Amino acid sequence: MRQTRLFLSRFLLGLWIVLFGTFLFLLVFESREGGVSMPMAGVSIIARPAAAIALPNRIFTCLETEQQFQCQATIQGRPLRLNLVPDKPNNPDLYDCQAQYDGRSVGCKGKGLDYAPMLSESFEIRDLGLSPQQLQAVRQKYWGLRMLLALREHRLLQISGGLSIAGGVIAAYFAWCHPSWLSEGLASITWGFVIARWVSGSLGIILFDVVAPYGFTVDAWIRIVNSAAAVTGIGTTIAIALLLRRRRASPATKAIVIVSSGFGTVLIAGYTLFLMLLGSGFVD
């Protein structure tokens, strides 16, 4: 029976790591990066009567010259070039788009501003002259971005929450079935992370006007807050690790390890995925 529990715990943990890693890799690989390394939130091809085909920003190379951007990508072996000129001098976030595909002019218009992850403009390309088979090939090639955009913000958050909670349950079950230094380490890191966040939040709410009379600049105070959080977090991690090691056989210690492993996995996985969703431009 014990061997069965150990096998099940390891299998579930391995499966969760694969699912979590795949979702995280997909978010990183399909990151929209609008407003960070390029001036646009995204480009899509109008393919009526089918739905528009979203193109990932990673396939575009953009160069800024004389207050305009020239971006280029390769679609079906032929170059797609976009020339983006500020629409109005007092509104640099909006652009007038001119596009060429394989050397001939094609339609291009703005769809409005979007967060990806910074506020920037999206564009629609039409009249590329691609056959239905070619359009389908483009759609299948960029299935990852299409899937993430189709899920939308609320479903992506639900998936992230579900993965985090499932990871917490599996980590707690693994710690119960297979007590080890790994579970104790995760429990220690959990407490260190919680204390670090608490210190950062407690010091961070102090208004700068309160500490300014003592000679602190904004940058100096931020460094102090971050340093205090890091030191207390690392110190708590080490202290809890030593305490758990000395009292390893205690039932209370085992309970702390099990609960902390589960809670820590939920906290760290959820925090990581939420930051990645924000940074990749799929939620705002």
Condensed to tens digits (0 to 9), the pLDDT of residues 72-126 reads 999 999 999 999 887 766 666 678 889 999 889 999 988 877 777 677 788 999 8
For 96, other C-beta atoms within 10 Å of its C-beta total: 14
Within 8 A by CB and 6+ apart from 103, the residues are 79
Residue 34's pLDDT is: 63
Question: Is the N-terminal amide bond of 132 cis, ω within 30° of 0?
Answer: no
Residue 249's pLDDT is: 58
How far apart are the C-alpha atoms of 282 and 116, rounded to whole Å? 7
Residue 93's pLDDT is: 63
Q: Where are the domains of the chain?
A: 2-29+152-280, 40-141
Q: What digits encode the pLDDT tens for the residues 11-30?
A: 998 999 999 999 999 998 88
In this prediction, the residues of the chain whose per-residue pLDDT falls under 70 are: 1-2, 34-37, 88-93, 117, 207-209, 247-249
Residue 156's pLDDT is: 94
Residue 81's pLDDT is: 92
Residue 22's pLDDT is: 94
Residue 207's pLDDT is: 66
Per-residue burial over 241-252, b if 16 or more Cβ lie within 10 Å, else e, is: beebeeeeeeee
Select from 69, 81, 82 the least CA-distant residue to 35. Answer: 69
